[in-house]
Amino acid sequence: MGTCSRRPSFLRVASWNINSFTQGKRELQEVVNRLDIDVMAIQETLLIEADRASLPGYTLYRKERQQRRGGVALAVRRGIEHYSVHVPEMETIEAIAVGIRTERYGEITVASCYHPPNRTVEIQDLEALMAIGPALIAIGDFNAKALDWNCLTQNYSGAELRRFLANNNDVHAVGPEELTYDGLGRTRPDVLDIALLKAIPLQVQLEVVYEGSSNHSPILLTVGEPTPPGGTVTKRRTNWAQFRAEMQRNTALPRIETVDELEAAVMTLQTDIHIAEARSTTETVEIFRQDYVGELPHATKLLIRERRSARRRSIRTGDPVDRNALNQLSRRVRAALDEHFNERWRKHTEEINEGAHDRDFWKLQKILRTQRKPIPPIHGERGIVRTNSEKAEAFSDSFELQCRENQLENEDEDHEEEIERRRGGGLRSRRSHDAQETEDSTTRSRITSWQHPPRDLNPGKQIVSRAKTKTKKREDAKGWIYPEEKGAKAPLARCGG
């Protein structure tokens, strides 16, 4: 197996308040493949930590709440070079971010953002969001209305965002010319989904895509100039078997006794890893082809086009009749997409050859019968950790806890400190007086008794001894007189007898 990676020459970034990832997954999968999306920002996923979520063909990053409310996610097309970016906790904005390595424009950070409508955005949260990357695209549902980015009205969050933009010349807001929120008949339709661009001196185009059954329409942001058809892409493939052999041949475990030796060993290991990766990785230049997972039937395409027109009409008029027609078309589109995906799966299973030399059927039944257990998240002292630095700190704390000395519940630490103090003081005074003088046996025995109380390996002997003592005292109380001669076993007389 190998890994392929490429750096796109332009970016197609989309954002969608999907209002439940579980219910809108089929529509989301169809949209991202048909529109050839590189990075998909998703808001209001309504997921919790225990939920399993994935998107075929994409790597999914998510941030959820403890309850099924809010939540953001980012889906990055597989094969694009990217990395996770740490986003600090903010009071009024939920965000998750990744860094994309592009071919022409360097590294661009993309963040999926959600600001609830019942709170006013704070300036310090906007400053923290803009500080996560030098070149940033923060896209999502901000619920901040202002005329500057094509909204019909203005609210307090929009006024705060305008004040922030006035004090930061390298950041500007971009909104589509068409409405992104239909209001559901309860509120007025408006533009709620926008993009904040920081240090992006490129040609950008933002448009609304009337898709899906959510009350928000997706927005599509194109950054840079698209590559003409027939472009090339550089793919890197790593032979992991060769990488393993290179590491086993070149890596040796040194003897580590000091901190400096540990740091030197870590640097040596990193160098060995980079050398092994370079020797086992090959690069090839191939023609770029769009990764599309299937062609929709013509009837389904017409149905989606009809729903797109109905959404525009519903947002424009606000008539309940138009809204009811849009809901009916949305249900029909969902049913058509489910039928399409199920039919593709049925054809795939029928095409599998069950012959003796074909392992496709065996692989398929293994996938279906295997119960995949979700990998539990890594927890630190303050909850779930997400960035590499937080994970490293959590591992360090765990190792420190596991490798420390065992502590008993009834252990008296004050007593041990007193013993060490007395022992250390006594030994130092004697050694300073006469280094050749042997330690005093009485003091040594007392110290030993303090540190380790003696234990008799024959408890029966002590029991018999105590029994004899009690018997002698009882006989004495009765008045028996024992002789003073050694070895006498019987009393001579009894007092008063």
Statement to judge: residues 130 and 244 lie in one domain? no
pLDDT given for residue 495 in this prediction: 45
Domain that holds residue 378: 373-404
pLDDT surpasses 60 at 357:
no
> Which amino acid would we find at residue 42?
I
* Residue position matching structure tokens 């194109």: 222
pLDDT surpasses 90 at 220:
yes
Statement to judge: residues 54 and 67 lie in one domain? yes
Q: Which of 377, 376, 381 is CA-nearest to residue 394?
A: 381
The confidence band for 359, taking pLDDT boundaries of 50, 70 and 90, is low
Is 339 part of any domain?
no
The confidence band for 75, taking pLDDT boundaries of 50, 70 and 90, is very high
CATH number at residue 202: 3.60.10.10
Is 356 part of any domain?
no
The confidence band for 493, taking pLDDT boundaries of 50, 70 and 90, is very low
Statement to judge: residues 219 and 102 lie in one domain? yes
Give the distance, in angstroms, between the CA of residue 397 and the centroid of all CA atoms in the same chain. 18
pLDDT surpasses 60 at 362:
yes
Statement to judge: residues 127 and 15 lie in one domain? yes
The confidence band for 14, taking pLDDT boundaries of 50, 70 and 90, is very high
d(CA 218, CA 229) in angstroms, rounded, equals 25
pLDDT given for residue 475 in this prediction: 47
Out of 188-202, 291-305, 448-462, pick the least confident.
448-462
Tokens standing for 51? 């939920």
Looking at the structure of the chain, the number of domains it has is: 5
Query: Contact, 89 vs 386, CB < 8 A?
Result: no
- Out of 216, 231, 246, a domain closes at 231
pTM: 0.55
Out of 46-60, 360-374, 461-475, pick the least confident.
461-475
Statement to judge: residues 120 and 165 lie in one domain? yes
Statement to judge: residues 73 and 167 lie in one domain? yes
Is 156 part of any domain?
yes
Strand order in the sheet with 107-114: 82-85, 94-101, 107-114, 136-141, 193-198, 171-174
Read off the pLDDT of each residue in 461-478 and give the average, rounded to a whole number: 47
pLDDT given for residue 442 in this prediction: 57
Is 317 part of any domain?
no
Q: Tell me the pLDDT of the chain averaged across its residues.
A: 77
> Which amino acid would we find at residue 462?
Q
Angle at the Cα of 124 (from 118 to 127), degrees rounded to 5? Answer: 115
The confidence band for 378, taking pLDDT boundaries of 50, 70 and 90, is confident
Read off the pLDDT of each residue in 247-251 and give the average, rounded to a whole number: 84
Statement to judge: residues 200 and 247 lie in one domain? no
Q: Which of 224, 61, 227 is CA-nearest to residue 135?
A: 224
pLDDT given for residue 98 in this prediction: 93
pLDDT surpasses 60 at 449:
no
d(CA 357, CA 366) in angstroms, rounded, equals 16
Query: Contact, 19 vs 216, CB < 8 A?
Result: yes
The confidence band for 174, taking pLDDT boundaries of 50, 70 and 90, is very high
d(CA 329, CA 196) in angstroms, rounded, equals 33
The confidence band for 497, taking pLDDT boundaries of 50, 70 and 90, is very low
Statement to judge: residues 20 and 149 lie in one domain? yes
Read off the pLDDT of each residue in 205-223 and give the average, rounded to a whole number: 87
Statement to judge: residues 91 and 69 lie in one domain? yes
The confidence band for 485, taking pLDDT boundaries of 50, 70 and 90, is very low
pLDDT in tens, 390-418: 888 888 888 888 887 766 666 677 777 77
Is 324 part of any domain?
no
pLDDT given for residue 114 in this prediction: 95
Out of 62-71, 308-317, 457-466, pick the least confident.
457-466
Maximum average pLDDT range among 152-161, 210-219, 250-259? 152-161
pLDDT given for residue 226 in this prediction: 59
Statement to judge: residues 56 and 91 lie in one domain? yes
| Nearby residues of 332 by Cβ (< 8 Å), 6 or more positions away | 303, 307
Q: Which of 212, 160, 195, 176 is CA-nearest to residue 30?
A: 212
pLDDT in tens, 232-242: 566 677 888 88
| Nearby residues of 223 by Cβ (< 8 Å), 6 or more positions away | 10, 11, 12, 13, 105, 108, 137, 200, 202, 203, 204
Statement to judge: residues 269 and 390 lie in one domain? no
Read off the pLDDT of each residue in 90-103 and give the average, rounded to a whole number: 91
pLDDT given for residue 16 in this prediction: 93
The confidence band for 448, taking pLDDT boundaries of 50, 70 and 90, is low
Is 328 part of any domain?
no
More confident residue, 7 or 433: 7
pLDDT surpasses 50 at 135:
yes
Is 421 part of any domain?
yes
Give the distance, in angstroms, between the CA of residue 271 and the centroid of all CA atoms in the same chain. 27
The confidence band for 10, taking pLDDT boundaries of 50, 70 and 90, is confident
Statement to judge: residues 43 and 186 lie in one domain? yes
- What percentage of the chain has pLDDT greater than the value 70? 71
Is 215 part of any domain?
yes
